[in-house]
Amino acid sequence: MMRLSYYPGCSLHATAKEYGLSASAVCEALGIELVEIPDWCCCGASSAHSFNRTLSIALPARNIAAAQAEGLDIVLPCAACFGNMRKADLALRENEKLRREIEEMLSFEYSGKLQVLHLLEVICNRVGLEAVRKRVIKELTGLKVAPYYGCLLVRPPEVCGFDDTENPTTLDNLIEAIGAEAVKWSYKTECCGASLALIQPEIVEKLVEEITEMAVEAGASCIATACPLCSTNLETRQELGLPIFFFTELMGLAFNLDGCERWLKMHLVETEPALQTLREEHSNSSAVGHTGKER
């Protein structure tokens, strides 16, 4: 059993409940114990840095302090929270003056012993894709998925240190491990404009239109993401009706976990079109024997 300090972040308790529920279920299935950080607070994503730099470090640092007391590495499902927490951890490691200020403010002593990790890298790198494959009960054969990392998971690279900035493959590999097809496309790290969603929606609409259209052009029947901000933008600003899944939901389907139907009903864009293709593929497969002839 792997034990990790768990920071769900605000979105997983609100607009992305399906992500939180599916993440918890998948982690349990893979033998990951999530120890939720006690009395955690908002990390300030994505606007705190615009108002007060010290506050933008102090907010995630407070959560790091709480996790440090538990002595467990921190795992975060939200890409925005992940970036903020990594930025704060890096600042505490490298800026002695700022570290002392934050330590005094929060009444703790930073140890620098904990790692800040995104859930996707924990599953792929610590648990491993082979363990994921062994847990699959229903391969998602026939489902063509556009892996969408967005910008917050991979940028800035000196902070996030996650995969390749321009052409990451971690999510692609996970999609393939659960039996689906990860389509090749060039928009996997394009920004969806999440921080502009309320103040300049016309820009966001254009960005989302380009992303969804390129996913369809690449042959995808859905998009998989690891960011609740991206998910909200892609669902609310598109016109194509392209299903948007969290990667943990697709894993839950492949693992045949209880609760999948509940998660999928929480989406703003109907998920059935993509899942219908999956059901048809399973139906065709079950109608063919080992000899390749219809039963």
Q: Where are the domains of the chain?
A: 2-118, 131-286
Q: What is the mean pLDDT of residues 47-62?
A: 84
pLDDT at 294: 33
Best CA proximity match to 171, nearest among 184, 158, 157, 156: 184
pLDDT at 256: 97
pLDDT at 293: 32
Best CA proximity match to 154, nearest among 226, 223, 245: 226
Could you give the CA distance from residue 41 to residue 59 in angstroms, rounded to a whole number? 7
Task: Write down the pTM of the prediction.
Answer: 0.93
Quote the crossing angle between the two packed helices 79-94 and 96-106, to the nearest 10°: 110
Q: What is the mean pLDDT of residues 237-252?
A: 97
Residue 282 confidence (pLDDT) above 80 = no
pLDDT at 286: 59
pLDDT in tens, 79-90: 999 999 999 999
pLDDT at 48: 65
pLDDT in tens, 114-170: 999 999 999 999 999 999 999 999 999 999 999 999 999 999 999 999 899 999 999
Contacts of 269 (CB under 8 A, 6+ apart): 235, 238, 241, 242, 243, 244
Cα dist. 232→126, 208, 267 in Å? 28, 11, 9
pLDDT at 127: 98
pLDDT at 157: 93
pLDDT at 45: 80
* CATH class as words, domain 2-118: mainly alpha
Contacts of 292 (CB under 8 A, 6+ apart): none
CATH architecture assigned to 131-286: 3-Layer(aba) Sandwich (3.40)
Could you give the CA distance from residue 114 to residue 31 in angstroms, rounded to a whole number? 20
Q: Which of 95-99, 194-198, 206-210, 266-270 has the lowest mean pLDDT?
A: 194-198
Q: Give the torsion sign (CA, 53, 59, 64, 69).
A: positive
Cβ atoms of 265 and 240 closer than 8 Å: no
Could you give the CA distance from residue 58 to residue 175 in angstroms, rounded to a whole number? 36
Q: Which of 42-46, 69-73, 106-110, 168-172 has the lowest mean pLDDT?
A: 42-46
Q: What 3-state class would DSSP assign to 118?
A: strand
pLDDT at 290: 44
DSSP 189-222: T----GGGTTT-HHHHHHHHHHHHHHHHHTT-SE
Q: Would you place residue 96 in the very low, low, confident or very high pLDDT band (cuts 50, 70, 90)? A: very high
Chain mean position to CA 157: 17
Q: Would you place residue 196 in the very low, low, confident or very high pLDDT band (cuts 50, 70, 90)? A: confident
Chain mean position to CA 142: 22
